Amino acid sequence: QINYEGALRMLDAVLPQLRQQAAAGQGGHLSLMASVAGYRGLPKALCYGPGKAALIHFAEVLHLDLAAQGIGVWVINPGFVATQLTARNDFTMPALLSPEQAASAAVDGFRKANFEIHFPKRFTLLMKLFAHLPYRWYFPLIRRFTGG
């Protein structure tokens, strides 16, 4: 199953209720969990990265389409969080956060009401910078940083 399939099903289930609430002046919000792995291609992320990139794009489109209806959309792009999934990684995970640290960062992001919530900043800002580099610089740099 591709990462974004669950998001499509969730949207199908909750969007009618959110539209009803928004029409009644109560608004509503959606949060989609993507990842900094969706910013740009990374080694060892053949399925994970493209699925997260699709979620980021999906969230951007939803934000543009639903804001006028009073429905807010957020995308959460964490770096590495210590989970059962990341425990299987066979590479060093920079700026690894505990689940509690990640939850705290997400709640802080909701309070600031930014479309994108990303953390930890010391890692995600570097990934954002890499995402803007031309390929001739990006590929050698990402190989150097990841050993890939």
Q: Quote the tokens at residue 7.
A: 């998001």
- Active site residue: 4, 48, 135, 138, which one? 48
Catalytic (active site) residue 48: yes
- DSSP percent split of the chain into helix, strand, coil, nearest 5: 60, 15, 30
DSSP 3-state of 74:
strand
| Degrees to nearest 5, angle at CA 136 with 96 and 117 | 35
The string of DSSP codes covering 16-68 is: HHHHHHHHTT--EEEEEE--GGGSS--TT-TTHHHHHHHHHHHHHHHHHHHGG
Q: Which residues are catalytic?
A: 48
